[in-house]
Structure 1
Amino acid sequence: MTSFFPATRDLAGWLAYIEALHPASIEMGLERVELVRQRLGLHPQFPIVIVAGTNGKGSTCAMLESIYQAAGYKVGCYTSPHFVRYNERVRIGGIEAEDAVLVEAFEAIEQARHETALTYFEFGTLAAVWSMVKANVDVAILEVGLGGRLDAVNVFSPVCSIVTSVDLDHMDFLGNDRECIGREKAGVFRSGIPAICGDVRPPLSLQAHAAEIGADLLLIGREFRFQPQATGWLYRSPTHEYLLPLPALAGEFQLNNAACVVNAVDALREILPATPEHMRQGLQSVALNGRFQLCRQQPQVILDVAHNPHAAWALASNLAQHPVAGRTLAVFSMLADKDIPGVVRAVAPHIDAWHIAKVAHGRGAGAAQLRECVLAQAASSPVSIHADVSTAYRQACNDAGENDRIIVFGSFFTVADIMRELAISGSAEIAAH
């Protein structure tokens, strides 16, 4: 066995090491991570829920985590990407994993991997589950990073799988239409276990794969549904009906995610009992940064990671449902390989002025490209170009009156820059104020 430890063995040293370990940031396939999992003897005995989907994965994981915590379970939750600290990706008992826990996990994986070159995400996925095993959690919630079928998370055997939505994103890896993408996401389904889909137009490929492998497919609008009420929302399935409070996360679209979560909790009630009261508590206390997150008043400052058209339409809906007396100023930056025109098209009717900059990432779109996309959709809106996202935000603050609002959106990197600017923790424990 050959093992090469990083020059410094603190968390920063390990992260720099694993980022450089594999020549590609993304390499689809399960062979490498499965081989190392076997060498580690990593066979979790606790129930695992896998969450995939184009949008809504983070919200679904957070709501499920919150409900099971309300029920008294020790919950492990693995999500990505992070905003400010890598530790945000791994929560145990609702608390971010400490540096020492992650370092110990990275060391164990490095010793076991031999010559196998893992990607950053593969290394991190194994470390997350290794940490949860060590912490003896009662249940783990694992968010898929990309797709589903060939994602590192999929080497673990779930007791329930959720696909929140299927839309166009990451098409270089997943395919050019919803049918191709749906098939990839359906790869997290398993024979004989609940396979929940929250997309109101589930691709035929997803349904066909579930039937082919004998998964227990549960579709929103068919096996379960929701109905908004004056005092909350009503969840219905053939066996249960609950009147529940609106989730603490803003947006009507969150009811799709919440319905999937309640359906999962119901499906798993024999192995993870939870009551309607636990559901109520969990939905009311859930917190998740970067999803229409209000973090300042007068003027309002809202952070949203919307980075594809599907998410941008949800953002546009939220902006329309929460009007302000004054103007809406955008601080906007995206990655070049995303559908920038599609995102701008969705949000442009709700924006009065744009402050744009290249995000601090190698894949960031240039300011000229961003400006061209904005002007194509909103030719009459003022557009200002800035050296970086933080400068764009500061200028927007200077321009905004107390009745205005600033919406920061376009990517996780865009939101993370402003979180650092505002000294906001990336942890969901610190809710918007």
Structure 2
Amino acid sequence: MPKTLPEWLDYIERQHPKSIDMGLERVRAVAARLGLKKPAKKVITVGGTNGKGSTVAFIEAIARAAGWKVGAYTSPHLLAYNERVRIDGLDADDAALVAAFAAIEAARGDTPLTYFEYGTLAALWLFAHSKLDLAILEVGLGGRLDATNLVDPDVAVITTVDLDHQDYLGDDIEAIGFEKAGIARAWKPLVLGDDDPPASVLRHAYAIGANTLRAGCDFFFDTADGPGNRFSPTDATPPAAGHWTWRETRRALQDLPLPRLAAPAQLRNAATAIAALRALGKALPTTAVAAGVAQAHMRGRLQRFMRKDVEVVVDVGHNPQAARELARWLATAPTTGRTHAVFAALGDKDVRGVVEALAGRIDAWHLAGLAEHGPRGVDVDAFAARLAGTAAGDGARHATVERAIHAALEQAAAGDRVLVFGSFHTAADALAGLEGARS
């Protein structure tokens, strides 16, 4: 039997023949043997293509500022597995995770579980023993058949819907939307961060009687520069510069600080988080909202470092929708010099779509391989071949992300920027070198 956390992680990775095996039968059976029911007094489940992790961070920070005891389960991690489970703002320690995995192993019998299913059950087991006011669960893949969906949430959130993971979720937005809408529950709130969500999401919500709350329809946000969505009321007091306003039909939260998280989309994520917490029906002081919005942070979301006179920015963005948001950020945060891209992605991603979204904002490309990151990883030559004919196709090639960053910094002049992106693995490799060794 494994004893340490690294031993357990190695063990659980080998207990199922597939890394992804979607479905709830196995994980539900083991949860029943563990006696796992609701992991907290209230539960919010967050799904979507992009923005899930940031929305969880905003919900967590606001709720904690309001004095609630909060647990958050997110994935994947960047530098240490412990990042996936937070209780009262602290990552779970090795001993707690080891105890959770041992309990799961004792209960599962001969039921095979995937790595993610083990992790989800471990988080729920730890939450159930922590007497939480609120548990926040981030969907791993899709929603309907994701392990997190064994819990009935009080509020479900879908941040965005776009093309990603088509091998598992379907080839078009409507099919993917249906899978993500599976986290909604009958007669419970479903918060939608998109102004114009797929019809499949709205149809499913209507069919089960979920109460949809839509950005641009049921809640709104605007800044001193103009509305963040399609709402521009004539009787509103304009926010002061550097502040923003969140609104619903009967209430407005004014003069909120701008998010510490930098991308333009983070204002929408913060607004969606506020809507989700309001949908719980619990008191939410404006001071707690302001403090949470200002304090929420996450690694690998436009995380900035300075290397001499060159800014290095690391982001986990890995699909065309995320790339479009990166392009928007580059447009709103220009540098005095050139922008160098370090780009590395897994083999199943729409890398040509990513480059197309960013091409006009990048001056020099450095491609890197992720061959060491499992069966989905590719070496740099195979990666470059997939980009032939694009703006990045003739970029410099490097075996690893670390080497690509080093080369980009060598090429960069004072005032330039190096943007590192393309995968959670890319961000993890970058952060391991930029802020410390990987755990």
Q: Identify which of 216, 219, 235 aligns with 2:211.
A: 216
Corresponding residue SS for 2:132: coil
Aligned to 1:312: 323
Corresponding residue SS for 2:13: helix
The number of aligned residues is 418
Deviation of the 1:424 alpha carbon:
4.1
Aligned to 1:13: 7
**How is 1:1-400 mapped onto 2 (pairs within 5 angstroms)?**
5-6=1-2, 9-44=3-38, 45-229=40-224, 230-243=241-254, 244-270=256-282, 273-297=283-307, 298-359=309-370, 360-362=372-374, 363-374=376-387, 376-378=389-391, 383-400=395-412
Supply the distance in 2 between the matched residues of 1:242 and 1:369 (Cα, whole angstroms): 50
Corresponding residue SS for 2:41: coil
Q: Which runs of 5+ in 2 are unaligned?
A: 225-240
Aligned to 2:433: 421
Supply the distance in 1 between the matched residues of 2:22 and 2:394 (Cα, whole angstroms): 42
- Opposite residue 51 of structure 2, the aligned amino acid is G
- Opposite residue 35 of structure 2, the aligned amino acid is G
Supply the distance in 2 between the matched residues of 1:418 and 1:144 (Cα, whole angstroms): 25
Deviation of the 1:224 alpha carbon:
1.2
Q: Is the 8 A contact 1:336 1:366 kept in 2?
A: no
Q: Is the 8 A contact 2:195 2:217 kept in 1?
A: no
Aligned to 1:430: none
Q: Is the 8 A contact 1:225 1:235 kept in 2?
A: yes
Deviation of the 1:225 alpha carbon:
1.5
Deviation of the 1:372 alpha carbon:
3.9
Deviation of the 1:231 alpha carbon:
3.2
1:410 has 2:422 as partner: yes
Supply the distance in 2 between the matched residues of 1:175 and 1:100 (Cα, whole angstroms): 39
For each residue in 1:57-80, what CA deviation from the matched residue of structure 2 results, as whole angstroms up to 9, or x when unmatched?
Answer: 000000000001111111100000
Normalised by the size of structure 1, how large is the TM-score?
0.94
Supply the distance in 2 between the matched residues of 1:167 and 1:145 (Cα, whole angstroms): 15
Corresponding residue SS for 1:377: coil
For residues 102 and 68 of structure 1, do their structure 2 counterparts lie closer, same or farther at Cα, with a shift above 3 Å needed? Answer: same
Supply the distance in 1 between the matched residues of 2:218 and 2:30 (Cα, whole angstroms): 38
Supply the distance in 2 between the matched residues of 1:263 and 1:200 (Cα, whole angstroms): 14
- Opposite residue 184 of structure 1, the aligned amino acid is E
Supply the distance in 2 between the matched residues of 1:110 and 1:265 (Cα, whole angstroms): 34
Supply the distance in 2 between the matched residues of 1:374 and 1:177 (Cα, whole angstroms): 23
Deviation of the 1:50 alpha carbon:
0.1
- Opposite residue 400 of structure 1, the aligned amino acid is A
Supply the distance in 2 between the matched residues of 1:425 and 1:293 (Cα, whole angstroms): 17
Normalised by the size of structure 2, how large is the TM-score?
0.92
Q: Is the 8 A contact 1:50 1:143 kept in 2?
A: yes
Aligned to 2:230: none
Deviation of the 1:396 alpha carbon:
1.2
Q: Is the 8 A contact 1:326 1:401 kept in 2?
A: yes
Q: Is the 8 A contact 1:186 1:206 kept in 2?
A: yes
Deviation of the 1:215 alpha carbon:
0.6
Corresponding residue SS for 1:218: strand
Supply the distance in 1 between the matched residues of 2:324 and 2:422 (Cα, whole angstroms): 12
- Opposite residue 31 of structure 1, the aligned amino acid is E
Q: Is the 8 A contact 2:187 2:209 kept in 1?
A: yes
For each residue in 1:252-307, what CA deviation from the matched residue of structure 2 results, as whole angstroms up to 9, or x when unmatched?
Answer: 2112211111111211133xx22111000000011111111112252000001110
For residues 40 and 52 of structure 1, do their structure 2 counterparts lie closer, same or farther at Cα, with a shift above 3 Å needed? Answer: same
Supply the distance in 2 between the matched residues of 1:375 and 1:347 (Cα, whole angstroms): 16
Q: Is the 8 A contact 1:289 1:426 kept in 2?
A: no
Supply the distance in 1 between the matched residues of 2:424 and 2:177 (Cα, whole angstroms): 24
Greater mean deviation of Cα atoms: 150-159 or 289-298 = 289-298
Supply the distance in 2 between the matched residues of 1:240 and 1:262 (Cα, whole angstroms): 12
Corresponding residue SS for 2:305: strand
Deviation of the 1:366 alpha carbon:
3.0
Supply the distance in 1 between the matched residues of 2:327 and 2:348 (Cα, whole angstroms): 21
Deviation of the 1:365 alpha carbon:
3.0
Q: Is the 8 A contact 1:88 1:426 kept in 2?
A: no
Greater mean deviation of Cα atoms: 188-197 or 249-258 = 249-258
Aligned to 2:233: none
Supply the distance in 2 between the matched residues of 1:238 and 1:57 (Cα, whole angstroms): 25
Greater mean deviation of Cα atoms: 131-140 or 64-73 = 131-140
Q: Is the 8 A contact 2:163 2:176 kept in 1?
A: yes
Deviation of the 1:134 alpha carbon:
1.5
Q: Percent identity?
A: 49
Instruction: Provide the aligned C-alpha RMSD in A.
Output: 1.6
- Opposite residue 384 of structure 2, the aligned amino acid is R
Supply the distance in 2 between the matched residues of 1:171 and 1:343 (Cα, whole angstroms): 15
Supply the distance in 1 between the matched residues of 2:242 and 2:341 (Cα, whole angstroms): 32
Deviation of the 1:377 alpha carbon:
2.4
Supply the distance in 1 between the matched residues of 2:312 and 2:140 (Cα, whole angstroms): 28
Q: Is the 8 A contact 2:156 2:189 kept in 1?
A: yes
Q: Is the 8 A contact 1:245 1:284 kept in 2?
A: yes
Deviation of the 1:423 alpha carbon:
2.9
Deviation of the 1:422 alpha carbon:
1.5
